[in-house]
Amino acid sequence: MTEESPITTVQRLQPQLLTHFMHLIQAGDLSHAYLFNGMDGTGRQALAETVALRLFCQNVTADGLPCGQCAECRRILAGDHPDVIRVVPDGQRIKVDQVRYLKAEFTKSAVEGNQKIFIVDQIERMTTGAANSLLKFIEEPVGNTVALLLTTNKNLILPTILSRTQIVDLLPVAPKELASALADVGVAPSQQTLLTTLTESIAAAKDLVADDWLATAQKRVEHWFSACCQADERAFVRVQTELVPLATNRDRQGIVLDMLVEVWHDALLQQAGPVAKETLSYPQVATQSQQIAQQLSVDRLVAVVTLTLNTRQQLAGNLNFQAILETLTLQILAQVAR
């Protein structure tokens, strides 16, 4: 099957933003710094690349889109254009040498013509020092340059960067469309609702279900949740024996934390009464989540959900993953046992 071009991808996922940016470029009104905020699967990379294509295209179509076929477009698509600078995380972080490269490129004029564009993906993975190094460029751009900063979560970006860029929130993938696509690639119905809360990318979803990782993780989170609901201190033991081994890298650590959020969100959904199992991320423990919803007051249940939500920020602050889970478990047990 032919790989979808970034132009086609953004036409499918973000048609309004595509039209908006093509008009800005046509009118010469493109700003010098944008923050594209969108989960994987929403087309943030495709939108950034299409902006780059349009800026350099030699044969713009009658619809105002880049042709994708001219010499300049082909070089950009191949990653070979000297005036389209791309940076993506090397491993879990955007590293010091990548930041040095960026800073050096910021001071240089375009190699060809007078246009230069920077595309920096997942800037939430920059250290604070590295992110601060972007500020000088954002505040004092050199020549005819544009910076497209891409993130999956703008809440993890320094406020100084947020205040100096135009923030563009990408539309999420429609849940029904995503669920249908997941079914098409063989994802079990019991996993589809959970997956739609974890990712908007079919590729990422397929990675999570590979080797039964998601099924295993779903069962282990259910075990931990059931123990928490019973104020059973073995929930604390399950952190080390069952949850921590799931997280083989930083990305998986984040996924596990998101899964804990969802299992307690199921309980919150049932505060007003039973809901259809197919709408829950963890249908196998629907009875337990309904019981804990009835047992805890709204305030206490909201407090538990808030505790789980805070773990993502703790992970971003480089706290130890096991320590985050153990602390969370103790806090939840204290709420349930009150």
**Integer angstrom CA distances of residue 293 from 77, 205, 263, 284:** 51, 29, 12, 16
Q: Residues 260, 308: contact at Cβ < 8 Å?
A: yes
Phi, psi of 113 (to 5 degrees): 70, -150
**Angle, alpha carbons 252-96-56 (nearest 5°):** 90
Quote the pLDDT of residue 39: 81
Rounded distance, CA 8 to CA 2, Å? 12
Ranges of each domain in the chain: 6-169, 175-337
CATH 1.20.272.10 fits 175-337, yes or no: yes
Quote the pLDDT of residue 20: 96
Distance between start and end Cα atoms, the chain: 57
Give the DSSP H/E element, type plus range, for residue 37.
strand 33-37
Give the helix ranges, DSSP H, for the chain: 6-13, 15-27, 44-56, 71-77, 96-106, 128-139, 159-162, 175-184, 189-198, 202-209, 213-229, 234-238, 250-269, 286-295, 298-316, 321-337
> Mind listing the pLDDT tens digit for each residue in 106-121?
878 888 888 999 999 9
210-232 exposure pattern, b = at least 16 Cβ within 10 A, e = fewer: eeeebeebbebbbbbbbbbbbee
DSSP state of 205: H
Rounded distance, CA 213 to CA 205, Å? 11
Say if residue 327's pLDDT is above 90.
yes
Residue 1 pLDDT class (50, 70, 90 cuts) = very low
Other Cβ atoms closer than 10 A to 86: 17
Matching residue, tokens 């594209």 = 36
Rounded distance, CA 287 to CA 293, Å? 10
Say if residue 178's pLDDT is above 50.
yes
> Mind listing the pLDDT tens digit for each residue in 6-53?
999 899 889 999 999 999 999 999 999 999 999 877 889 999 999 999
3-state secondary structure of 34: strand
3-state secondary structure of 89: coil
> Mind listing the pLDDT tens digit for each residue in 211-250?
899 999 999 999 999 999 999 999 999 999 999 999 988 8
Give 6-169's CATH code, choosing from 2.60.40.10, 3.40.50.300, 3.30.930.10, 3.40.50.10300: 3.40.50.300
> Mind listing the pLDDT tens digit for each residue in 142-168?
778 899 999 988 888 888 888 889 999
Quote the pLDDT of residue 3: 63
Quote the pLDDT of residue 200: 73
Common-topology check for domains 6-169 and 175-337: no
Pick from 169, 158, 166: nearest CA to 126 = 158
Pick from 197, 247, 202, 189: nearest CA to 220 = 247
What is the gyration radius of the CA atoms in the chain, in angstroms? 23
